Structure formats: structure tokens, C-alpha cells
Structure 1
Amino acid sequence: MLVHTIERKREQMLETAKIYGMSSNETIKCSQELDKLLQLHLVNNIRERNLNILKIS
């Protein structure tokens, strides 16, 4: 589900950039939101990996 949300936000950012330009406030806001989603995804992956390591040990 998070991956789907990330993909939708990426598409939104690209569309916003086409309309308003890469340095517009709208595009920057989408980019920052995408960054937060990607960070959340990475944290979730690290936690899951750590849990899997604990289960194996």
C-alpha cells in the first residue's frame, strides 16, 4: 500500500512540475511529501529486516 502511495505522489509531482515548473512551490511541496513517504518506506524496510534477523537468531 505504501509503495502505491509513493508511486501516486511521484506521478503527482511530475505532473505538477510539467504545469508549474520544477522550482514552483507546488512542485517542491510534492517533492517534500514524496521524500517523507520514501523515508517512511526505508524505515519500515529496516525494521522488517531487523525483525527477520532476530527471528533467525
Structure 2
Amino acid sequence: MTISGNTLLFFFVILTVVMDVKFEFEDLLFFFLLLVVLQQDKPRKHARRFLWSLATMNFQ
């Protein structure tokens, strides 16, 4: 199943406008980065690399 960036943006707008869901700044930043990754030419490769870099980050 392929989810495009436009589909994610549509669901984000529905959540914020219709259902009045509040998002923290970090959630919005992650959502924006996810949209940027999905708009690339090879989204699966870029998304895998992005998520792997997040998983290997050292959070302190």
C-alpha cells in the first residue's frame, strides 16, 4: 500500500480542523519531515534511511 504526501496532508487537515486535535511542536516537525521524505523521487528508500537515522540517534 502506498500513501502519498497529499493523502497524509489531507488526514492532517481533517484531524486538526474537523476533529480539533491539538499537536505539539515536535509532532508537527516530525509530520513535516515525513511529508518531505514522501514527496521525494524514491520515497521508500528515503523514508527507510530517515527512520533508521532516527532509530540510531542517541537521545539524552
> TM class by shorter-chain length?
0.3 to 0.5
Higher relative contact order (CA 8 A, sep 6+): 1
Q: Return the TM-score normalized by structure 2.
A: 0.39
Q: Which one has the bigger helix percentage? A: 1
Q: Return the TM-score normalized by structure 1.
A: 0.41
Greater C-alpha radius of gyration:
1
